[in-house]
Structure 1
Amino acid sequence: MMDCETEISQGRRFAFGRNWLRFGTLIDEERIAAATRSLEVALGASDLTGRSFLDVGCGSGLFSLAALRMGARVRSFDYDPDSVRAAGKLRLEYAPDSDWSIQHASILDAEFVQRLDQADIVYSWGVLHHTGDLWTAMQAACGLVAPGGTLYVSIYNDQGPESRMWTVVKRRYNASGVLGRQLLLTGSLLYLGRHAPLRAAQRLTKRVQGTPQGTVPRPRGMSRKHDLVDWVGGYPFQVAMPEEVFSFCHERGFELSRLKTCKGGLGCNEFVFTRG
């Protein structure tokens, strides 16, 4: 299997980790609190004491830290070494003596996955569809959930022709230089904001160009600017209809306990399953 940095250098993969390193400089107690609140709502619990939490594709490490704050024993891993560095920096700053391990690994690495213990909560938000093999990644994630445990995943919604269009945009972004990427970001921003008033579109354009955007975090504690870059550049890219994800997990002994869709539009559908 080709390594992450080679894939990035060849334009086959977006540098997710570099984006997470940049986002990491914005993480503060307000963003951590927002991430924690969203995790509490999704899991229907505010106390994870005594429970194990496996973060598959940890990115910045923000949600690993949120789970840690909720009392969980946390294990995180990511395919991108810069994501591992970003999570490591967050741990060093906010939880230096904690029960939180971070590794560089892929959910598609069968030998690595086989060595992992099953977890009470397996969390993978917006990750599995970027592996290049969504259903193999889903199969591995399902197998990591302990009996009676929880699987919390989010998967990009299949919008048919529009999803195919975004696949082309994402490939082109990763094959382009700095100017080409900036043009794709600006064009995508205008396309995404085409129903918004012109003034709002102008404000968003300034954000992409680096104008300070304020400190108010998005829901889940995320950043609008970094989310946009992740969306436009995020390749590999796969999508699924909600019923496909439901059927896949149901066939493997999981029951759906919570569903939050993007209402047929752009973005991720969120699923919380319980394993029988």
Structure 2
Amino acid sequence: MTEHAVEIASGERFEFGANWAQFLNVLDDKRIALAEQSLRTMLGVHDLQGRRFLDIGSGSGLFSLVARRLGATVHSFDYDPQSVACAAELKRRYYPGDPDWIVEQGSALDKDYLKTLGQWDIVYSWGVLHHTGAMWQALENVIPLVRQGGTLFIAIYNYQRVMTSMWTWVKRAYNRLPSGLRWLVLGPAMIRLWGPRTIHDLLRGKPFYTWRHYAEHSVRGMSAWRDVVDWVGGYPFEVAKPEEIFRFYRDREFVLWNMVTCGGRLGCNEFVFTRASHPNNTEK
């Protein structure tokens, strides 16, 4: 049994890949276009022609696909074998046999594996490193993968003084329950996450509007239901304050170029850093 399988069986890890596999059933051109626009906006680019794009924790493979559509040479890897299969499926659908898109299994905590990857123009890891079980080590490990003058785009869960502890308990409970009983956690969490917004939509005469238009609302082309399952089940689970991430990379000679926070609420803070290109740049 693999380490990943042991973690799943012991309730210490969520089956992210199984959830992403279901997302592929609803993935369409509109969602792909939304994801593409979100990546272009955050990176401040029109396309990625001639750029090398490393997708750490590729999940569904959607943003690897988007980077390839924008012209990048892409390398996707994920710790979860079903997530690897998702990215491979998208490659099969849209870029069969393409030598400029590699998909494989790997871990952000495996330094030996990471050393084989070399350096990249863009290192992308959205909502991944906080699920490794060793977030700060993972944040450190990605540094050598970014070339001098290159870009690091990450998203990390936001710290909340009270709710972080509550959600940690919820996620742990969800994964330790037998699959047939997980609705006992998922149901109340669904009410907590979507109840206020659903009531708001009803009061303004647009029942379930936000749910039905979630792909646009999320900006990144995501699925409301799959995001709920991912959020409730997403374990291991770590968080950070925006200033902690900023200082961590500033002290390692990265410059913050773009940032979008979740305003202190539940969700991810997004950071786009540039690695200093002067010759004295060294990891600390």
TM-score (norm 1): 0.92
How big is the shift at 1:173? 0.1
CA gap of 1:198–1:214, structure 2 versus 1, over 3 A, is closer
8 Å Cα contact 2:215/2:222 also seen in 1: no
8 Å Cα contact 1:5/1:80 also seen in 2: no
CA gap of 1:251–1:214, structure 2 versus 1, over 3 A, is closer
CA gap of 1:70–1:110, structure 2 versus 1, over 3 A, is same
In structure 2, the residue matched to 1:96 is 96
How big is the shift at 1:182? 1.2
**In 2: Cα distance, 1:18 partner to 1:182 partner:** 17
In structure 1, the residue matched to 2:251 is 251
How big is the shift at 1:216? 5.2
In structure 1, the residue matched to 2:65 is 65
In structure 1, the residue matched to 2:141 is 140
Question: What stretches of structure 2 of length at least 5 have no aligned partner?
Answer: 277-284
Letter in 2 for 1:65: L
How big is the shift at 1:26? 1.3
How big is the shift at 1:275? 0.4
**In 1: Cα distance, 2:64 partner to 2:198 partner:** 37
Deviations 1:112-157 (A, max 9, x none): 0111111000000000000000011001112210000000000000
In structure 1, the residue matched to 2:28 is 28
SS at match of 1:59: coil
**In 2: Cα distance, 1:127 partner to 1:153 partner:** 8
How do 1:98-117 and structure 2 match up within 5 A? Answer: 98=98, 99-117=100-118
Alignment pair present for 1:12 and 2:15:
no
SS at match of 1:195: helix
**In 1: Cα distance, 2:187 partner to 2:76 partner:** 33
In structure 2, the residue matched to 1:210 is none
**In 1: Cα distance, 2:62 partner to 2:116 partner:** 25
CA gap of 1:215–1:239, structure 2 versus 1, over 3 A, is closer
In structure 1, the residue matched to 2:240 is 240
SS at match of 1:11: coil
Letter in 1 for 2:244: E
In structure 1, the residue matched to 2:175 is 174
Alignment pair present for 1:150 and 2:151:
yes
8 Å Cα contact 2:253/2:275 also seen in 1: yes
TM-score (norm 2): 0.90
In structure 1, the residue matched to 2:77 is 77
CA gap of 1:197–1:93, structure 2 versus 1, over 3 A, is closer
**In 2: Cα distance, 1:17 partner to 1:197 partner:** 28
**In 2: Cα distance, 1:171 partner to 1:59 partner:** 21
How big is the shift at 1:200? 5.3
Letter in 1 for 2:31: R
CA gap of 1:15–1:268, structure 2 versus 1, over 3 A, is same
In structure 1, the residue matched to 2:281 is none
8 Å Cα contact 1:18/1:83 also seen in 2: yes
**In 2: Cα distance, 1:56 partner to 1:197 partner:** 34
Question: What stretches of structure 1 of length at least 5 have no aligned partner?
Answer: 208-212
How big is the shift at 1:168? 0.4
How big is the shift at 1:178? 3.1
**In 2: Cα distance, 1:216 partner to 1:265 partner:** 20
Alignment pair present for 1:196 and 2:197:
yes
**In 1: Cα distance, 2:215 partner to 2:158 partner:** 27
8 Å Cα contact 2:214/2:224 also seen in 1: no
More off after superposition, 183-192 vs 219-228:
183-192
Pairs aligned (count): 268
SS at match of 2:136: helix
In structure 1, the residue matched to 2:279 is none
RMSD: 1.9
